[in-house]
Structure 1
Amino acid sequence: MSFYSTKHWAGSIFFAVLLLHVPAASGLTIYRIGGESFPPPDLDTPYEFVQIGWSEIDAAEHGRENLIQLDPDAIRPQFLSSDINLTPLIQERGGEVLTFVWNGWRSHTESDELMFDGDLATAFLGDGRFAVHWPYIKAVTFDLGAPLFLDRIRFFPRDKYLTDRFVQQFRIGINDGDPLKDGTREVNLGAAGFYFDFDIVYDAAENTQSVIDLKFPYQPIRYVLFYSKENTTGIWEIAELEIYGNGFAPFASYVSNVIDLGAPASLGSLRWAGQQDEGATLALSTRSGLDYDPNTYWRYTFRGGERTRFDAKGRPLNLASYNKLALGAQAGITHDTAGWTFWSTAQDFAAGEGAIAGAGPRQYVQVRADFTSEQRASGRLDWMELAVSIPPVAQQAIAEIMPAVVPPGAAAAFTYKVKASVASDDLGFDRLAIDTPARVQRVDGVRLSGQPVAFELLHSDDTGFVLAVPRVDAQRTQEVLEVDFHASVFQFGTVFTGRIFNSQHPAEVPQALAWGDADGVPSSERLRVDLTRLGTGPLGALSVDPGVFSPNGDGINDVVEIGCDVLNLSGMSSVVCWVYDVSGRRLGLVDASRLGSGRYVGVWDGRDASGSLLPPGLYVVGLRVETDQGTTQRQAVVSLVY
């Protein structure tokens, strides 16, 4: 089954059959990022293949990486070895070392550098010169450039002064770099509006050790504070102050260059391969645009607080011209909301594929990978593949659904409306796929421009259905296609996404429908459906069918089907179904699984936990769901007879 042929559901018999009848020419293109030693996909249809290396990212093309180890066949977060001292590497890793002086935090001095220059023969002297004027302490902040898992901090005097120049009083502080916590930490240090605050992890008032070697707590740390006063007797010195990391970078990211598809294209699916360790996350997202630059650039005009998107000659700012502005003239970069989608929500990494963000044809695409790691648990991304096709199905295709509010779990009558703007060189469509939260009960009719037309239900399952409809091409552009169907909704804010495609071009990707005013009448203008009732709990009424069953093997009412609507779950939750006798004694487990919102269906064959048939009588079926809000249960009585 090729990954680009449908909504990203696998196993659709309908689409598998279509792929057996592929025309000689295809507008399908597959872009692969990474996985350079892997062969191109083995598909049953012609396609163009474009290979992009992980290392080809370029800031001038809006690509970037942070704390990523780049290999031809994979990317992963950088791993910090506990035997590598980070302080000499801070600046090349994007950090800096700051020292506290009378007017606040400033870049470190040449004398400060003696404590992290890697030369054991040189040393920073704590001989009191720093205390001649306020502040009467020596404080240095090591900005590591990003939060890291740290192993330990180590500092010491030169060998010949080990016994008499050790630091007698010191504090070690840490800050994870989270701005939301600023002002809440234990110690606040700064001046002239430039402050750092730290949690103090070590506070030594009477140290007698020459070599200080202290472990950091297990948490991401970006800033490390060294703070000391003059010794009570003699002077102190530091030959080297060393900071060692340990483990994967807790937060790492990769953003591809903007990929120019050459022309507006229908966006298909994103596929990927890799590994996600337990305790770590790998979040993949996409965005797409109508122009090359996903950003809007602003310049100060120096007329009050006025900003403009144009340079002094009236030309629109871009990345290159913005970077040439004086720092005082740079007024910020914002997202181009007119030309680009926002980053999509993170894909389910275990699924291996998902949709590319963007309703309607887009010429430019960008992908992103965000890694969140523990010290010894991380992720690896081998490759990502994007499937697109040119020409698109339509220049634009919008849809809406009515009604916008229905009772939870009940079979509701819906009308789904689609309007497509089809140009002469677009593919047009004769297939419509609509996603539903459960199997559609029935499709009642289809209309084109208000007139009933023939249709065929080609495929239906628990995720949606596919219809064959009359062909809509440039001759029928802007005509409204309406589909009446019955379905149930189990979660507030359920979105009925959809796609259109052309059965004569099955290798090309379907085009996603954008929400909008499809019929020209102000109504729902959206694809989201809400529920009439909230706060009723995650479980509806429990049903048993039949209420009386006889598991005697005659093929008639041998099992009982247990059904219940599972409502408004924010994710997957534990659902367990048990059988009890009327005294409440547990007899057997019917089912235990993890489910999202939808229709739960379980089957009981009249047997207990040992597999033995139970005697005739009344039994209680109990369903229990565990959520963040607690436990909810429903029960029903069933009669077993022979």
Structure 2
Amino acid sequence: MRNSILVRRAHSNGKHMTYVRISLWLVASWISMAEADIVLWQLGGSGLEWAEHDSVAILIDETTTPGAIQPIYIQPNRSVFSYLTNWGSWTPRELGYVDGERPRVSGNLRLVDGDSTSYLAPSSGGSPDGRTFTFDLAVPVPIFSFGFYTPSQGYRSDGKSLREDVVPAYELYIAAHNPNEWQQIADVQENFRPVVQHQFPRQYVRFARYIRRLSRSLEAAQIEALQISSQAIFAKGQAHRGTIGDFELFGEGVPLRAVYKTRIFDLGQKVNFGRFSWSATPLRMVDGEPVEAPDAPVSIQVEARTGIDPKPDIYYEFTDMGTRIPVSQQRYQDALKNPSGAVNTDDGQGGTLTLTTRPKPGIRAGIEYDQDNWTFWSVPTFESGQTLGLRSGSHLQLKILLNSEEFDAFVRLDSLWIEISPTLATSVIGEVARSDDPQPLRGVAEVEIGEMAEFVYDVKAEVAASDAGFDALRIRTGGPPAFKHLEMGIPLRQVEASEVVESADGLTIRLPERLNAGRNELIRVVFAAEVFDFAWTFDGQVLDSQSQSLPQPVQSGDAGDDLATSTLRVLASTSQAEKIRDLRLSTAVVTPNDDGVNDLLEIEYALLGLPRTVATRLNIHALDGRKVAILAAGSQKSGLQHIRWDGRDDSGALLPTGLYLLGLEVEGEAEVIKRLIPVGLAY
């Protein structure tokens, strides 16, 4: 179902951040408050149109399939440059430039416009040797040819046709990801061709570079004969040889990633966000036609950020006193000037005086991200149906990457939808501290990694009459918690929770009374938990158990005078270097007799201080050192982890009875971390 009450777009001649105020495009109508409060906001399919709401679209095809987006499939007979728009200079001057979201060129844009009649006129003075043009496609694209050609018309000042004014010598380079890691594909010391194309095996290319060199037969020989510098020989006014009409890159297939970023949506009111889901189809190009390919190595990557106003950045101008005041983006970009650098001038006494521009009105004072009103981009999700841990907000922006690991495989994103519902409270603020150190000197709780510690978790809510309120609190602990007690009220008093649920990675407390506009009370939860990361955030949510509304995140802040952290984050440290701790087995002997007793071996352990998820596997060794089975546990992160083993080898056959060594391996940043433990097998 599609409902539209008001659609309004705000434009500023393409110069400023564009945001869109929209009504909710509903896949499911609002249902009565007693039944459900969740609505689906949709982009694509029957919802908002992709093409009308993008702020960045790098090699995104928005037209082939109505209602869907997919990577552009590069055709081998069309220059890749022609698929890209909104080119910028190599050193971007525009506000808000993000690497990989805009193609760039170090040189004139006429060199990539695909027009053989336009060209960069030959210059004179100084040596052309080393003159460089560099191109950034923004994303890696499958390329097999790089070249250039002379203009199709026009004449040099000496009467020679530009068509025949070939570049005497040059070098060509390509790079897949890093503009400092070049691969040379051509070193031509004598060129007589007006059309140059150098082919190479198809490979991902993001950066391409041309360097002008001196011809050995003409330019270099002339310099050597005259025994003068190249700067002098080319400083006599004649135009350099070699005119380039256009550069060309040819390839075939889809980019390694295609980038789509939305404008900023104004949702009309502050809402809570739930799961992000999408409908997508993996495809592979076969004989020029897209064919569904469930095994295609493709993925969708989604990030989001939320805010409570239209602008994520704050723009500043200097005052007469040298302080800063916020100004509009339009004034910052159109009316203010950059601070000038130091200027050396005569001091009137035979010396030099260095002057700098004094901060004053009319001078830009910098740009800052509005952390108070906007979240940073979320951790990417690659799986549909996941939550992104977004803070409540009235404004939303999405960034979507369509990834492919194969030249001819790609994914079509048919639609994307997000669960949203009204906020339960106007604001929910929380902070956490150790119970034995409620006001730490450094302003943050500090614990020993992997050791049980007791925490105090304070929450203060502001609930308006129009808010539904809440009656439960959930805290993400990362490991099994131990609930101690609950306090509520002003002043705080210990109360009995209606229900407490301790899970493997969190704690849910149902409050004895509902908090609404008439009961804005302080909530305190005391619990014990282990911290397995060097920095851990005890994310919290308040819930309404009487409805289907989405939970509302607890935001870090000052919840009261008793605690002095104003954050939900804690820091952990350790004097031990071990990454694997508390390796335990459910039994010393596995007996896979299908009798329900010790048929499976449960292996439990704690991973500590890992900066990211890592590959983990269990190797089973015989006592003579032979590896008889490998059990991949996939990617795991810091915290309590589990692996099961049924006494079988890789083929599924039961291993002979006896004693075996279990080798747990975790791929660390610099080395593979290993732990061994014996186990018996009998049946």
Is the alpha carbon distance of 1:169 and 1:424 closer, same or farther for their aligned partners in structure 2, counting shifts above 3 Å? same
- The one-letter code of the counterpart of 2:206 is P
Match of 2:604 among 560, 563, 570: 563
**SS at 1:232 equivalent:** helix
- The one-letter code of the counterpart of 2:76 is S
What is the deviation of 1:84?
1.6
C-alpha distance in structure 2 between counterparts of 1:641 and 1:223, whole Å? 66
Give matches, 1:222-621, under 5 Å: 224-225=210-211, 232=218, 241-246=246-251, 247-249=253-255, 252-274=258-280, 282-299=300-317, 309=325, 317-322=327-332, 324-325=334-335, 331=364, 334-337=367-370, 339-355=372-388, 357-358=390-391, 361-370=392-401, 376=407, 380-402=412-434, 404-440=445-481, 442-449=482-489, 450-457=492-499, 459-470=501-512, 471-477=514-520, 479-506=521-548, 508-533=549-574, 536-547=577-588, 555-556=596-597, 560-586=601-627, 588=629, 592-604=633-645, 611-612=653-654, 614-615=656-657, 618-621=659-662
- The one-letter code of the counterpart of 2:415 is W
C-alpha distance in structure 2 between counterparts of 1:54 and 1:115, whole Å? 26
What is the deviation of 1:385?
2.3
Give the aligned partner of residue 170 of structure 2. 171
Is the alpha carbon distance of 1:519 and 1:65 closer, same or farther for their aligned partners in structure 2, counting shifts above 3 Å? same
What is the deviation of 1:113?
8.2
Give the aligned partner of residue 207 of structure 2. 221
Match of 1:155 among 137, 149, 154: 149
Give the aligned partner of residue 116 of structure 2. 118
1:80 aligns with 2:80: no
Give the aligned partner of residue 632 of structure 1. 673
1:56 aligns with 2:52: yes
Is the alpha carbon distance of 1:379 and 1:307 closer, same or farther for their aligned partners in structure 2, counting shifts above 3 Å? farther
For this pair of structures, how many residues does the alignment match? 560
C-alpha distance in structure 2 between counterparts of 1:634 and 1:138, whole Å? 56
C-alpha distance in structure 2 between counterparts of 1:88 and 1:607, whole Å? 57
What is the deviation of 1:250?
5.5
Any unmatched runs of 5+ in structure 2? Answer: 1-30, 92-104, 154-159, 223-239, 284-295, 339-361, 436-444
C-alpha distance in structure 2 between counterparts of 1:273 and 1:253, whole Å? 17
| Contact map agreement 2:185 2:198 (CA 8 A) in 1 | no
What is the deviation of 1:175?
7.5
The alignment's TM-score, normalised by the length of structure 2, stands at: 0.68
Is the alpha carbon distance of 1:387 and 1:152 closer, same or farther for their aligned partners in structure 2, counting shifts above 3 Å? same
- The one-letter code of the counterpart of 1:505 is S
Any unmatched runs of 5+ in structure 1? Answer: 1-20, 37-50, 99-104, 186-197, 311-316
| Contact map agreement 2:278 2:384 (CA 8 A) in 1 | no
C-alpha distance in structure 1 between counterparts of 2:311 and 2:583, whole Å? 53
C-alpha distance in structure 1 between counterparts of 2:515 and 2:384, whole Å? 33
**SS at 1:82 equivalent:** coil
What is the deviation of 1:389?
2.3
Percent of matched pairs sharing the same residue: 22
Is the alpha carbon distance of 1:298 and 1:228 closer, same or farther for their aligned partners in structure 2, counting shifts above 3 Å? farther
C-alpha distance in structure 2 between counterparts of 1:67 and 1:80, whole Å? 9
C-alpha distance in structure 1 between counterparts of 2:147 and 2:506, whole Å? 57
**SS at 1:54 equivalent:** coil
What is the deviation of 1:501?
1.5
What is the deviation of 1:34?
1.8
What is the deviation of 1:425?
2.2
Give the aligned partner of residue 188 of structure 1. none
Is the alpha carbon distance of 1:83 and 1:428 closer, same or farther for their aligned partners in structure 2, counting shifts above 3 Å? same
C-alpha distance in structure 2 between counterparts of 1:640 and 1:107, whole Å? 70
How big is each residue's C-alpha offset from its partner over 1:398-430, in whole Å with a ceiling of 9 and x where there is no partner? 242536344444444443322212222222211
Is the alpha carbon distance of 1:138 and 1:414 closer, same or farther for their aligned partners in structure 2, counting shifts above 3 Å? closer
C-alpha distance in structure 1 between counterparts of 2:120 and 2:329, whole Å? 43
What is the deviation of 1:510?
0.9
| Contact map agreement 1:95 1:144 (CA 8 A) in 2 | no
Give the aligned partner of residue 102 of structure 1. none
The alignment's TM-score, normalised by the length of structure 1, stands at: 0.71
C-alpha distance in structure 1 between counterparts of 2:487 and 2:116, whole Å? 78
What is the deviation of 1:459?
5.0
C-alpha distance in structure 2 between counterparts of 1:368 and 1:223, whole Å? 29
Give the aligned partner of residue 62 of structure 2. 70
